[in-house]
């Protein structure tokens, strides 16, 4: 089995940050975000690269455990 607890946490982080990005997009497109435009935009800008980084880290960890 290639999935380790570490790679599982990375995948979970990737899912949470992807959900935050999609939610931020919907909030900004609605016009009146609950947390304000600035905070929602900051969440969006941070969550997009975090999604990729967490996913890349999960794949890297899984490949390291393929022995």
> How much is the pLDDT for 44?
97
Tens digit of each residue's pLDDT (9 = 90 or more) over 51-60: 999 999 999 9
Tens digit of each residue's pLDDT (9 = 90 or more) over 6-41: 999 999 999 999 999 999 999 999 988 999 999 999
Nearest alpha-carbon partner for 11 in 49, 47, 51, 48: 51
| 23's tokens | 């939610």
In angstroms, the CA 39 to CA 53 distance is: 21
Residue bearing the bigger pLDDT, 22 or 65? 22
> How much is the pLDDT for 1?
64
Asked whether residue 65 carries a pLDDT value surpassing 70, the answer given is yes
């Amino acid at each position: 089995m290639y999935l380790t607890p570490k790679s599982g946490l990375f995948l979970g982080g990737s899912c949470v940050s992807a959900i935050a990005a999609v939610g931020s997009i919907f909030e900004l497109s609605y016009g009146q975000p609950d947390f304000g435009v600035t905070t929602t935009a900051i969440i969006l800008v941070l969550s997009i690269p975090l999604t990729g980084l967490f996913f890349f880290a999960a794949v890297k960890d899984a490949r390291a455990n393929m022995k």
